Structure 1
Amino acid sequence: MCRSFSWTGKSGITRKAPVAWRKVCAHKKQGGLNVMAMAEWNEAHMIRLLWNLMGHLAKDCRIEKKVEETTNLTLEAEANEGFLLMAQNEINTNDNVWYLDSGASNHMCGHKHLFKEMRKIEDGNVSFGDASKMKVKGKGTIRYLQKDGLIGSIQDVYYVPNLKTNILSLGQLTEKELQVEARTSSSLDKEIEAKLKLLNKPAVKSIKSEDGDIIDCVNIYKQPAFDHPVLKNHTIKPIPSFLLDYEPSSVRGTPNASSQVFQLWQKSGSCPKDTVPIRRIQKKDLLRAYSLERFGRKPPYVHSTTNNTNPNFTNLGVTDDYINLQNRSNAYLSTYGYNFIGASASINIWNPNVEKKGDFTTAQIWLKANNGDNFESVEAGWMRDSYHTTGCFDVTCAGFVHVGSSTALGATVGPYSSQFNQQYEIAIGIYWDEDGNWWLNIKNGTVIGYWPAELLGNLRHSATVVQWGGQVYSDKVKKAPPHTSTQMGSGDSADGRFGFACYMSNVRIKDYSGFHKYPEFVNTNADEPYCYNAINDVEYGKFPVFYFGGLGRKPPYCP
């Protein structure tokens, strides 16, 4: 599902967040506690398991076998030596139960139907301490149903047909630079409740949306923006008159496209005057998040010291100062200058696939100031991620002052486009005022709010770069295969054009002249052109239409 977002941020250093665990059983053994856990997880930088440190003793588990009966296993396939604890005991034959084992060096599963893909292994064996063996038949990716109803995956799992239990290797997880932190479930519950109390503000009215969201109508001066210490005594600014005179959708729309886009919660009610609609953060959102500490914040931009991609410039004018950003793959149209004070576009809405938690894909507008590690940006568009809000795409973190009562940032937007069917688009504009604030407005002149000047540096004067396009965030981009299958735009390449590829029309900038106009010089760029590409479609006598997107992983072009 697609969600609207806005964000402001400065680049910084990425820090891995701790992980919580969820208990199923724990067995005492010589040398310490052998932890087994069942829960929701993913193969990203973080995993989400919840574990009660107290656990259960062996006598409390579903089996009555003594712990001393457990044996160590050694994997002999592919020259990998693997150690597996407790695999012979039929602790639980439910194929949805996974046990975390600190002594196992490989993930293993005996349920073939769980594998999404598998590579055969010849002459692979698992050897027990009593010299008995089980055959290893393959290695691949497991699919599983998460508690939230989404499909997750576990990679590099050995298929052992006679194995009765599913094993997660703690060693294999930590080799992938996962960080694990154990805490009691009671302390986690307290931390979550405290976080919810901090994030959610008292509501004058609450609206239940058909998609499960709850929209709280919050007093305009009680919104999260005022949690920021710089904004404690901030007075809400009046809407600039130029925003009331100009609508982003007033320029010519794309032929055969509809701008009749709405948010689902609006079908269930509206917020009263002097309140702003804010999507309520629920406990399930925090449980699905990869970090309580960073919830409400977009992953920071981090520049890579090396550039292992091949930038593909197709240009109407200037060239790009290419910067390689870690974990991000972009395809965009850009223009450079010294006095941009506004930008807008009509953005085609799709519902692309996202591979796993922590990933997201956007179609958006960026306005930036400064270069390198010190740049600032304000951004707006639509986003698709795997579990609702990934970061600071709404008003969860203080920094955006909401003034409109009709649109909730972070709430579901629709309908979305599909191939051979109606195309939908939303007009978005970001504009500077003389006090240094940047205002966000959408279709029909609806003003949502603004980024206050007090929180900005050089951006309070003007932007030097404007970009329109898409971004995929994943730890599996710009690296050795396999690439992420998270899609950009519609999931089709830009070559598909209208009805197939995601587009932006009515691309405009505003400078100190006060006029809205197509940029004099633009440049298209794709970080990974074989995975996601960009085309600026120029027809004589017409304003260009910018197309972008891609499937992500698609061997052999994007392995």
Structure 2
Amino acid sequence: MTLMDLFTLFLVLSFSLNHNVVGGRTLSREEDLELERQLKILNKPPIKTIKTEVGDTYDCIDIWKQPALDHPLHQDHEIQMEPSSFPEGFDGETSTIDKEIKVTLTTVDCPQGTVPIRRTYKEDLVRVKSFMEAYSYSSIHPLTKDSPGKHFAVVESLDKVPTKFHGIQGYVSAYNLTVGAYQTTSSQVWLETGYGNSLNSLQAGWMVSSQFYRDNFTRLFVFWKTDDKVTGNWWFQVNDIRIGYWINTLVPRLEGGASRVAWGGLAQALPNRPSPPMGSGHFEPDDKRKVAYFRHIQTVNQQNFWVVPNVTQFETYISSPTCYYIWPFGQIWFKGYLFTFGGPGGNCGV
């Protein structure tokens, strides 16, 4: 089964998620108390509670009492209901061709004036903390001794290019892949600035992770945002649905734009263990209906216009060519700039 959506990022953000065992050790009393404190902050008294078909519980929370506004920098924040500006050439709609095949997002029908927030349990915080310590969605970079177990197949901007990126978008196909324990696979986009402790990274896409989500469903995930050129806030949109935004103070280093962007796949596993499949799970399949791809990829330039990539400013990168591939990178009639990617995974190295 294939899923396809247009991801629109007008500048991107990563959020840090802060497992009673973490990394094979038992939580200390202090850590356990900290988790209890976080739960009280995250789980507000709901106006309405909804349980989805896949077993998730969502609470409808007063929009003015959502946890994001508990941040000291955001307590006087005036909530935006719509972006105050859009990049030129973007109308938020997809073409007739795209609408015939796009996935329908499962929605939670909360009353007006409330926002749906997935209920958080202590085991969720324990699991997420362990996941983030093991996999750390840190950056677009080659496999190194400092980040073992990560394998990339991406189209990325060259570091030497002096331009700033103020948005990113692309249609992505994703498959319901099966992953093993401690494996994660995603088809996603990145928008970043800085390195190391100075890194601000915004990421979004489709992910399968049995450890993170406790199932093998393909899930929409975000670690990122989009920039509103008037307020500086970052909006996240899927097809014509505006999911929401991140307040600009969360990623201050992205205020002037991102220095790096990328589209593609990321497969993660424990070091020296088999890696999961990526994309469609095939090497350049003959049946083009089974290929994983990104198409109509674009960025927002410093003049706030959507533009197609300048191929001299981008490159393809594969960290493990025996397990994954990426091909080609170019313009194909109505599909715009397009590339295919993926692979079966396996024993891919460190």
Please tell me the TM-score bracket, short chain as reference: 0.7 to 0.9
Hey, what's the Cα distance between the residues in 1 that align with 2:31 and 2:244? 34
Q: Please say if 1:475 is aligned against 2:238.
A: no
Matched-pair contact (CA < 8 Å) for 1:240–1:433 = no
Hey, what's the Cα distance between the residues in 2 that align with 1:282 and 1:412? 21
Counterpart mapping for 1:505-516 below 5 A: 505-516=295-306
2:150 counterpart residue number: 328
Hey, what's the Cα distance between the residues in 2 that align with 1:10 and 1:215? 20
1:65 counterpart residue number: none
Q: Residues 494, 252 of structure 1: CA spacing in aligned structure 2 closer, same or farther, 3 A cutoff?
A: farther
**SS at structure 2 position matched to 1:8:** coil
Structure-1-length-normalised TM-score? 0.51
Q: Residues 248, 537 of structure 1: CA spacing in aligned structure 2 closer, same or farther, 3 A cutoff?
A: farther
Hey, what's the Cα distance between the residues in 2 that align with 1:306 and 1:385? 20
Shift of 1:215: 1.4
Matched-pair contact (CA < 8 Å) for 1:285–1:387 = no
Matched-pair contact (CA < 8 Å) for 1:302–1:326 = no
Q: Residues 551, 230 of structure 1: CA spacing in aligned structure 2 closer, same or farther, 3 A cutoff?
A: same
Give CA deviations for 1:75-122 in whole Å, capped at 9, x if unaligned: xxxxxxxxxxxxxxxxxxxxxxxxxxxxxxxxxxxxxxxxxxxxxxxx
2:166 to 296, 321, 341: 341
Residue identity matched to 1:334? E
**SS at structure 2 position matched to 1:548:** strand
Structure 2 gaps of 5+ residues are none
Structure-2-length-normalised TM-score? 0.77
Q: Please say if 1:279 is aligned against 2:118.
A: yes
Q: Using CA pairs below 8 Å that are at least 6 residues apart, which structure has the higher relative contact order?
A: 2
Residue identity matched to 1:517? V
Shift of 1:233: 2.3
1:207 counterpart residue number: 50
Q: Please say if 1:356 is aligned against 2:181.
A: yes
Shift of 1:548: 1.6
Q: Please say if 1:550 is aligned against 2:343.
A: yes
2:249 to 448, 454, 458: 454
Hey, what's the Cα distance between the residues in 2 that align with 1:537 and 1:257? 25
Q: Residues 431, 535 of structure 1: CA spacing in aligned structure 2 closer, same or farther, 3 A cutoff?
A: farther
Hey, what's the Cα distance between the residues in 1 that align with 2:141 and 2:94? 41
Shift of 1:519: 0.6
Q: Residues 303, 506 of structure 1: CA spacing in aligned structure 2 closer, same or farther, 3 A cutoff?
A: closer
2:210 counterpart residue number: 386
Shift of 1:438: 1.5
Shift of 1:248: 4.8
Shift of 1:451: 1.9
Shift of 1:332: 0.8
Hey, what's the Cα distance between the residues in 1 that align with 2:199 and 2:239? 29
Matched-pair contact (CA < 8 Å) for 1:302–1:373 = no
2:40 counterpart residue number: 197
1:531 to 320, 323, 333: 323
Residue identity matched to 1:520? N
Shift of 1:249: 4.5
1:171 counterpart residue number: none
Hey, what's the Cα distance between the residues in 1 that align with 2:218 and 2:324? 25
Larger relative helix fraction? 2
Hey, what's the Cα distance between the residues in 2 that align with 1:182 and 1:241? 45
Hey, what's the Cα distance between the residues in 2 that align with 1:536 and 1:497? 16
Q: Residues 558, 247 of structure 1: CA spacing in aligned structure 2 closer, same or farther, 3 A cutoff?
A: farther
Hey, what's the Cα distance between the residues in 2 that align with 1:333 and 1:545? 10
**SS at structure 2 position matched to 1:441:** strand
Shift of 1:467: 0.6
Hey, what's the Cα distance between the residues in 2 that align with 1:303 and 1:340? 15
Greater gyration radius: 1
Hey, what's the Cα distance between the residues in 1 that align with 2:119 and 2:310? 43
Structure 1 gaps of 5+ residues are 21-45, 48-179, 309-323, 391-410, 415-427
Shift of 1:439: 0.9
Counterpart mapping for 1:80-479 below 5 A: 180-181=25-26, 194-243=37-86, 246-250=90-94, 253=97, 258-263=101-106, 266=107, 270-283=109-122, 285-286=124-125, 289=127, 291=129, 299=136, 301=138, 307=144, 325-336=147-158, 337=161, 338-357=163-182, 359-371=183-195, 373-389=197-213, 430-444=226-240, 446-476=241-271, 479=272
1:19 counterpart residue number: 21
Matched-pair contact (CA < 8 Å) for 2:110–2:116 = yes
Number of residue pairs matched by the alignment = 331
Q: Residues 221, 348 of structure 1: CA spacing in aligned structure 2 closer, same or farther, 3 A cutoff?
A: same
